[in-house]
Chains A and B, each alone.
Chain A
Amino acid sequence: MATLHTRSAARLMIAPSVLLLLAWMIVPLALTIYFSLLRYNLLMPGMEEFAGLTNYTYFLTDPAFFQAVFNTLAIVLGVLFITVVGGIGLALLLDQPMFGQGIVRILVIAPFLIMPTVAALVWKNMFMNPVNGLFAWLAKLVGLQPFDFLANAPLFSIILIVAWQWLPFATLILLTALQSLDEEQKEAAQMDGAGAWSRFIYLVLPHLSRAITVVILIQTIFLLSVFAEILVTTNGGPGTQSTNLTFLVYAQALLQFDVGGASAGGIIAVILANIVAFFLMRMIGKTLEA
């Protein structure tokens, strides 16, 4: 009896969260699907009509769409590469004995705590600006022409800014994992004559594999939806050179008021994210089970 009691009490306690998340998953998503089948522009109220898959064909044949898919993947892969490689390096460095380790750690994790709009605007204005930025000053100092980062290499600049924000995350997690590596194992390997490089490849890297997987999974979720950094730096431009899928849908919805088209784009973004998530979960599932 008691267990029956507990069980129904437990169900009652879980219910609010499950119902809320279920509603949050289903209601807006169903509406998005519904809107995506309509010709519906906020500037022309009362003109809504069923449009079948027109919005999808429009979106999928738009050259901006392919650019956006490419940019989305470039941001995810570029930032992942920088943060994972840099994170491993930094974690190894911070794991060494040194003076003031705690302070260095604090300095390194700071960018992660900065809100995206601040991070992007600080980089855009005070560093990458071709006239007043610090990079321009450094370039002139060594006799080079200042480079207009956001006009000439917008995607690369955004990757740089986002990587700066996420490097601390990767470092912190990898460092935590590194510190749980058995000291005796390292010493045993050293006694057996393993050099620093083979110790890294055969001992440290396998030990970090789980943490690296976690870093990739979590960062990918967030990186697929980079938005604020693009909004305040390049506004997706020049042209659509730095527009990712998230920004493309935003522009379609809130700048062009095309509810139907934006909804179709949103659904496509959901499908793509699910494909990525599917492969990711399979990969992660294997490492996390172990």
Chain B
Amino acid sequence: MARNVSTQRKLVTTAIAWTIGILIFFPILWTFLTSFKTEAQAIASPPAFLFFDWTTENYFEVQSRSDYFKHFMNSVVVSFGSTLLGLLIAIPSAWAMAFAPTKRTKDVLMWMLSTKMMPPVGVLVPMYLIFRNTGLLDTRSGLVMVLTLINLPIIIWMLYTYFKEIPGEILEAARMDGASLAKEIIYVLTPMAIPGIASTLLLNIILAWNEAFWTLNLSAAKAAPLTAFIASYSSPEGLFYAKLSAASTMAIAPILILGWFSQKQLVRGLTFGAVK
């Protein structure tokens, strides 16, 4: 028996759900709209919702005033760099733990997860001093290193849960057919592992792009990614809502789109495979 739902009830649910959905999304929508206003319109009362003179001036202003593109590239380099480096280190480990598990594999995994429970302030002081003394402060490579380390447990866990799902029988079948280890890896395992690796990549780029403890504390004018760049708008210097909105829109748009495409993987990755 399929659930019989009256059209009327469906319409009511739709109305409620859309209202709540739009309310939750509203701050983002409002930021987007404000980015096309002039500064005067941005703080006008009553506020203009759609009927104002749309202008793209803020976007150019943000770029010319503060070299937005540089910070955007910092974000790209830091998030992609740390994710790729993390994958490079994590893939062999997750692979080994998934396909050649020992008695201790579970403990190792739990221990890795437990490193995420250490609050970052516990190591803020030494990290800051180490970075200062080695010239890593305010460099992209320094940020890449730290973000690789903090996301490594998540990357390993995600990959592990994906690799775990590749059935072992397939390997046996390939072996029976006389495939060598190299062929096994290239023709059998890799194609099955790629979707998992891709989701891990996506989620970790999102996490690294939005990371806002280490990026704020370990970077300044030169290497600041967008998280830190946007934070510089917190000191009020006259009217700046429209420019803040333009800078924000550009900072969140790429990740919003990436995230929407990877909703399913988001759940799985963020719960370390506990909820699928």
Which residues on A are within 8 Å of B, measured CB to CB? 6-7, 9-11, 13-14, 16-18, 20-21, 24-25, 27-29, 31-32, 35, 90, 93-94, 96-101, 103-119, 121-127, 131-132, 134, 137, 140, 164, 167-169, 172-173, 176-177, 183, 187, 210-211, 214, 218, 221, 224-225, 227-228, 231-233, 245-246, 249-250, 253-254, 259, 262-263, 265-267, 269-270, 273-274, 277, 288
Question: Do B270 and A169 have beta carbons less than 8 Å apart?
Answer: yes
Stretch at the interface among B58-66, B112-120, B191-199: B112-120
Interface secondary structure of A, over-half rule: helix
Bound: A227/B244 CA distance, A: 20
If the complex has contacts A21-B112, A109-B259, are A13 and B93 also in contact, measured as CB distance less than 8 A?
yes
Distance in angstroms from B270 CB to nearest chain A CB is 6
| Interface of chain B residues 107 through 131 with chain A (CB within 8 A) | 108, 112, 114-130
Check B115 against A117 for contact (C-beta < 8 Å). Answer: no
Contact status A177-B25, CB under 8 Å = no
A105 to B18, CA, bound (A): 10
Q: In angstroms, how far is the closest chain A Cβ from the Cβ of B106?
A: 12
Whether B77 is near chain A, meaning CB under 8 Å from some CB there, is no
A225 touching B3 in the complex, CB below 8 Å, given contacts A122-B27, A214-B271, A218-B271: no
For window 132-161 of B, CB contacts with A under 8 Å fall at 149, 152-153, 156
Contact of A116 among B10, B210, B267 (CB under 8 A): B210
- Asked whether, in the complex, the Cβ of B216 is within 8 Å of the Cβ of A105, the reply is no
CA A122 – CA B247 in complex, angstroms? Answer: 11
- Decide if B153 touches A21 in the complex (CB within 8 Å): yes
Show the binding face of B for A, using Cβ within 8 Å. 1, 3, 5, 10-11, 13-14, 16-18, 20-22, 24-25, 27-28, 30-31, 34, 43, 45-47, 89-90, 92-93, 95-97, 99-100, 102, 108, 112, 114-130, 149, 152-153, 156, 206, 209-210, 212-213, 216-217, 226-228, 230-231, 233-234, 241, 244-245, 248, 251-252, 255-256, 258-260, 263, 266-267, 270-271, 274-276
Closest B residue by C-beta to A136: B45
Which residues does chain A contribute within 8 Å of B251, judged by CB atoms?
Answer: 115, 118
Q: What's the minimum C-beta distance from B19 to chain A, rounded to whole angstroms?
A: 10
Closest residue of A by beta carbon distance from B234: A232
Chain B residue contacts of A24, Cβ below 8 A? 115, 149
Q: Contacts A21-B112, A250-B217 hold; do A10 and B96 have CB atoms under 8 A apart?
A: yes
A126 lies within 8 A of B30 (CB): yes
Q: Give B11's nearest chain A residue, CB to CB.
A: A99
- Smallest Cβ-Cβ distance to B209: which chain A residue: A115
CB of A227 within 8 A of CB of B45, answer: no
Find B96's partner among A13, A100, A211 (CB 8 Å cutoff): A13
Complex Cα spacing A176 to B263, Å: 10
B contacts with A: majority SS: helix
Q: With the chains together, A188 CA to B275 CA distance in Å?
A: 25
Chain A contacts of B241 at CB under 8 A? 125-126, 132
Chain A to chain B: the 10 pairs with minimum beta-carbon distance, closest first: A31-B126, A28-B123, A228-B212, A13-B92, A10-B96, A107-B21, A270-B122, A113-B259, A13-B96, A232-B234
- Docked-complex contact B24 and A224, CB < 8 angstroms: no
Contact A21 B115 (CB under 8 A): yes
Separation of A118 and B32 alpha carbons in the complex (Å): 12
A110 touching B213 in the complex, CB below 8 Å, given contacts A13-B96, A90-B20: no
In the complex, the answer to whether A262 meets B124 with C-beta atoms within 8 Å is yes
Cβ B125 vs Cβ A263 within 8 A = yes
Report Cα–Cα, A108/B23, bound state, in Å: 9
Q: In the complex where A10-B96, A18-B108, A134-B30 touch, is A227 in contact with B24 (Cβ < 8 A)?
A: no
